[in-house]
């Protein structure tokens, strides 16, 4: 594992929720940072700053690819699937 891959894995372990981490570990997706990972990290940061509960919840298939996602911000929610 390269230094970059180790750094990405550490960031994910600190920032992503347990369900997402387990899915990524199972499908060997811990080495690369995806757009969904960044969206979850940004949403978590905004939640901390504003005190509002904002999260991005992707749904993965067996191969570990995102097939649907939900964006929840308090009473407002949005979801989309392929």
Q: What is the pLDDT of residues 70-80, one digit of tens each?
A: 888 877 777 77
In the chain, what are the domain boundaries?
A: 3-81
Residue-wise pLDDT for 6-25, tens only, equals 999 999 998 888 888 888 88
Would you state the pLDDT for residue 23? 83
pLDDT tens digits for 16-67? 888 888 888 888 888 888 888 888 888 888 888 988 888 888 888 888 788 8
Q: What is the pTM of this model?
A: 0.70
- Residues 1-6 have a mean pLDDT of 90
Please count the other Cβ atoms lying within 10 Å of the Cβ belonging to residue 61: 12
């Amino acid at each position: 594992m390269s230094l970059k891959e180790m750094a990405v894995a550490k960031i994910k372990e600190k920032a992503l929720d347990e369900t997402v981490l387990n899915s990524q570990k199972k499908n060997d997706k811990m080495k690369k940072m995806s757009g969904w990972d960044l969206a979850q990290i940004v949403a978590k940061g905004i939640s901390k700053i504003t005190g509002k509960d904002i999260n991005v919840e992707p749904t993965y298939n067996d191969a570990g690819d995102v097939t649907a996602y939900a964006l929840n911000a308090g009473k407002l929610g949005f979801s989309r699937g392929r």
